[in-house]
Amino acid sequence: MTITTDAVADLRAALPAPDSVLTDPDLLLAGSRDMADLCPAGVPLAIVRPRDTAEVSATVRIAAAHGVPVVPQGARTGLAGGANAVDGSIVISLIRLTQISVDTTARLAVVGAGVVNADLSRAAAREGLDYPPDPGSWESSTIGGNVATDAGGMCCVKYGVTSRYVAGLTVVLADGAVLHCGRYGSERAAGYDLTGLFTGSEGTLGIITEIVLRLRPARRPGRTLAAVFPTVAAAGRAITGITGSRVVPSLLELLDRTHLRAIEDYRPSGLDTGAGALLLAASDTGPGAQTELDIMAAHCERAGATELHVATDQVEADALLAARRLAHPAMERLAAQRFPGGRGGLIVDDVAVPHGRVVELVEGVIRIAESHDVLVGVVGHAGDGNFHPVIVVDLSDPAVLARGRAVFDEIMRLGLSLGGTCTGEHGVGLLKRDWLERELGPVGVRVHQAVKSALDPAGILNPGKVVLPAHDGS
């Protein structure tokens, strides 16, 4: 009997509930990866589905005792390979940790890591409260995954990304010990900001099992504007104008022609497929919303918008946002149509630049795509300077893949040269590890490695993701 089958026997003994330890080869394969097409995934030894923090802790203790790596997973909607299994690992799926409790007095929610983002939003709304971070995957991604990647979303331009809302965490450490950090009902906790450290750590420092989240009062009614532009660059000028104005939009999203056409083809939504780009802008300041919308409309006109349309009611505004949320599946379908037989794939870039550099970024992306003759659609949380150039590739053609990869790298290089970051929201995972190193520089890498080795000296937590240990040149 090998050491790994001993580990499975120990897991079954520690987690006796049905379906807690999965070893069926088909299930292992199906659960081995997230949604990043190009990132390699290994085959895990087992997928474990604990029901509470104690079972997560027991699982990690067993993994540590057997020297087996552990890969935490939420809903596997990640776009950077962060949730991909490594060979022989124990995948810990947090999806059974679904408790939600809302404290209206403290305006806090305590949630299990497996709670789906939209379920929390709805639970908060029932109490007249709001949980703003709203990734496009909000109907499927988990709060644990959102915290682990520090996810963004459409309303983050005004309300900030996930980390702004994390008040406290329960984390299972690499030896199975349980850490509680942050302070319930207080903005500040004594000591180092451990809550901040684990937020965005992509499962490499600990496994988050429970999260205390700040909530806000429900948002006021808003107004939404759709502006049509002949080119992406013109839309970029409008973005810069709006973000430089005194208005803080509650939403500022860009869709280029490739996305508009892909979405219309996927699910007709009445979008103008002849447009070079569409900008969705909103204000949620109640009675002041129209004034803010007028200011944003003026910036759009100045930048060359050919058509401006204000949604007549919330139903129409919601329909526009719903169309925006279809961007990823629509592009997946476009890739599948372009390269049939399962060959079509996407490389999703996630570059974020300072507001003043947006036009240079979008113009540069177009130039790079043209120079490599590769189809690249651009979509993004424009108000955050966070863009997703989506590169369409034939996964079976090494030459096309190499061109796609070159486009990805050139966009990253451009983003960093403009003072940006290699990940606006999706995290580093496997996809952007090299680029993180360039962004951090040698001292930043050394500090990351020191933190990692202090918290996970045996390197069992999500190995190979984010940053490699100092001795590992692979």
Which stretch in 40-48, 74-82, 415-423, 450-458 sits in contact with ligand FAD by CB under 6 A? 74-82
Residue 239: both structure tokens together: 């973005």
Euclidean distance between CA atoms 249 and 252, whole angstroms: 6
Q: Does 136 bind ligand FAD (CB under 6 A)?
A: yes
Cβ closer to ligand FAD: 208 or 303?
208
**b/e burial code for range 378-393 (CB count within 10 A of at least 16 → b):** bbbbbbbbbbbbbbbb
Q: Which of 257, 299, 324, 426 binds ligand FAD (CB under 6 A)?
A: 426
Contact letters for ligand FAD, residues 276-315 (x by CB under 6 A)? ----------------------------------------
In terms of C-beta distances under 8 Å and separation of at least 24 residues, what long-range contacts does 329-332 make, across chains too? Answer: 329/266, 330/259, 330/262, 330/263, 330/265, 330/266, 330/267, 331/258, 331/259, 331/262, 331/377, 331/390, 331/392
Q: Are residues 358 and 239 in contact, defined by beta-carbon separation less than 8 angstroms?
A: yes
Draw the binding track, 199-238, toward ligand FAD (x: CB under 6 A; -: no contact): ---xx---xx------------------------------
**Terminal-residue alpha carbon distance, the chain:** 30
CB of 339 to ligand FAD, least distance (A): 19
Using CB under 6 A as the binding rule, the residues of this chain from 152 to 191 that contact ligand FAD are 152-153
Contact flag: residue 69 with ligand FAD (CB under 6 A): no
- In the complex, the smallest distance separating the C-beta of residue 206 from ligand FAD, rounded to whole angstroms, is 7
Backbone angles phi, psi at 122, to 5 degrees: -70, -40
Alpha helices of 199-325 — where are they, by DSSP H?
232-243, 257-266, 289-303, 314-325
With CB under 6 A as the contact rule, the residue among 20, 32, 59, 73 that binds ligand FAD is: 73
Does 462 engage in binding with ligand FAD (CB under 6 A)? yes
Handedness of CA 447, 450, 455, 457 (dihedral sign): positive
Q: Does 459 bind ligand FAD (CB under 6 A)?
A: no
Residues touching ligand FAD: how many (CB under 6 A)? 39
Residues 103-122 that bind ligand FAD (CB under 6 A): 113
**DSSP 3-state of 32:** coil
Q: Percentage helix, strand, coil, to 5, in the chain?
A: 40, 20, 40
Q: Which residues of the shown chain bind ligand FAD in the complex (CB under 6 A)?
A: 34-35, 71-79, 82-83, 94, 113, 135-137, 141-142, 144-146, 148-149, 151-153, 202-203, 207-208, 328, 425-427, 429, 462, 465
